[in-house]
Structure 1
């Protein structure tokens, strides 16, 4: 299946007074049409930096590697060309809709402007398209609500407005950066169902960035687990949840609360802290927190600390671990 988005060896570095910080390091993945890639990991793992690099929204950062949209290279593309693609061919839903919407303009005006910029439509036609977009995302009385301001909408409704704005020009790629983090579980479910319905109708390629593995299990077809700016594991969602091969992925899954746990059982957590991206260790970034490395013989532990693992393993389920625990294999 041809990929709408193809990323190869993407690296993003930010200059600081103490030296460059490599927030994303040699990352590669594909997103075919009609599929959802879930990117998961702790805060600081490089998820949002990756999405902004795909959209070409980094200023002052060094971005290397290749990002192609339907075969067109985006890295190094002039800003004017990127502006023609952003919103029209690829769109992004940001984590906080209130800070992404202008408080002085009605939501209808903001969506309509988006349509006018890319299609050159008149004000009346763009306004009608904005009303249609609000109706498509399930906002009641869309004509009336189009004349209201962002502060007059609830959090869930503002997120629907952001989705309408992102999809009004019918892009091929949608990036959703933590779109349900600030929402209660009922509204979260409605937003996820909405995105799934629109994806099915339009054949969208979707990148869902989240730290919530429950969201990933619900909407993703494939999963990319990131740690320290690198890919730790990639797999179809069913395979990853059934048999995680990387100890970090296992740690994330074990930290989820379970209905059959006793009430007084404390929440499980991965010990330690994420690695420094300013001076990364030469070996596996997860080694200082890895229970598998801690229990391994001295020779294996030394390898984890000194040699950086690369993605390897069965087709469709590579893992960046020297001693992955694939199903049926004892670590």
Structure 2
């Protein structure tokens, strides 16, 4: 179907076996990404963002992955590793958080980009090298022919990230997953990297998954947002809807924790009280309930429901929200 999503994830669950028991790092997750659009996945550390991206890429060794991950009509869960290797780089690619540890220190930038082209297209060395130089120029690295012969340690952090982007795009994939691609960069370089990804997406019609803890990045680049907490989806909505009128209390406190231009110079940052949940001993109800200001103010019956019964995502006001007491509903004293 022409309007079918490029990536469709249904009931995705990722479980790690540990000496202390199983850890369900992603639990019954669903999401979709369409060509030419960006899905931002946000949440605190440990919410399952990166585990989800690695599951889509088929990079979890030793973990139990169940559910469905369909890329352009093809099921990836259960696919043999040999078949996944053919798809990684060619149909889907990933930019990792730390380019210095992701790039091999003993090979030049040009060699590492050219290798992808040779593996997937069988290109000769000269043609692959020429393509690598071309890609380095496309991602904004000056003197690409010269810099293709340099090693990762000879590049700045922002330039190394550009090399990673060039490598990810070497075989013109349909899906690009960017896992915290700007975390270690200063704000100027961060803006340049985000502009680069947006430009390349527009030129190539890429579907992009942007994983970040930074809601400012999401507001800038995404059309759709998935908020994760405790390995599950808390809320999914168009970016304008989510920022203007969040429905899940966790989304609300995430937005409240952002610094504001109208805050006083000495105003403290608004932290989220409590700690993220333990995935070794998951609560039977809503994982956010112990930290939720809305549940804390609810009548005893509602509070007990939040603590004892896990909410499932339901469609409401143009979004999906997994909450017994969503915002903007007349529960226990009116909407916020």
- When the two structures are superposed, what TM-score results if normalisation uses the length of structure 2? 0.97
Could you say which residue in structure 2 is the equivalent of 1:117?
119
Alignment-derived partner of residue 107 in structure 2: 105
**Equivalent residues in 2 for 1:8-19 (5 A)?**
8-19=10-21
2:221 to 212, 219, 222: 219
Alignment of 1:1-331 (within 5 A): 1-314=3-316, 316-326=318-328, 330=335
Q: Following TM superposition, by how much is the alpha carbon of 1:236 offset from its aligned partner in structure 2, in angstroms?
A: 0.2
By how many angstroms is 1:315 displaced? 5.9
> Whole-Å Cα distance in 1 between the matches of residues 317 and 299 of structure 2?
28
Determine the C-alpha separation between the residues in 2 that align with 1:320 and 1:7.
Answer: 17
Q: Deviations over 1:55-97 (max 9, x none)?
A: 0000110000000100100000000000000000000000000
Cα distance in 2 for partners of 1:194, 1:219 equals 11
Question: Is the contact made by 1:36 and 1:205 (CA closer than 8 Å) also made in structure 2?
Answer: yes
Distance in 2 (CA, whole Å) between partners of 1:163 and 1:11 is 28
| Deviation, structure 1 residue 121 | 0.3
C-alpha displacement of 1:313: 3.1
2:320 aligns to what SS in structure 1?
coil
Structure 2: state its 5+ residue gaps: none
Partner Cα distance (1:44, 1:314) in 2: 27
SS at match of 2:319: coil
Number of residue equivalences: 331
Question: How far did residue 300 of structure 1 move?
Answer: 0.7
Moved over 4 A (4+): none
Unpaired segments ≥5 residues, structure 1? none
Taking structure 1 as the reference length, what is the TM-score of the superposition?
Answer: 0.98
CA separation in 2, counterparts of 1:309 and 1:327?
16
CA drift at 1:316? 3.6
Which secondary structure does the structure 2 equivalent of 1:20 belong to?
strand
Query: Contact between 1:234 and 1:316, CA under 8 Å: does it hold in 2?
Result: no
Once structures 1 and 2 are overlaid, which stretch shifts more, 307-316 or 286-295?
A: 307-316
Alignment RMSD (CA, Å): 1.1
Cα distance change, pair 327–109 in 1 and its aligned pair in 2 (3 A): farther
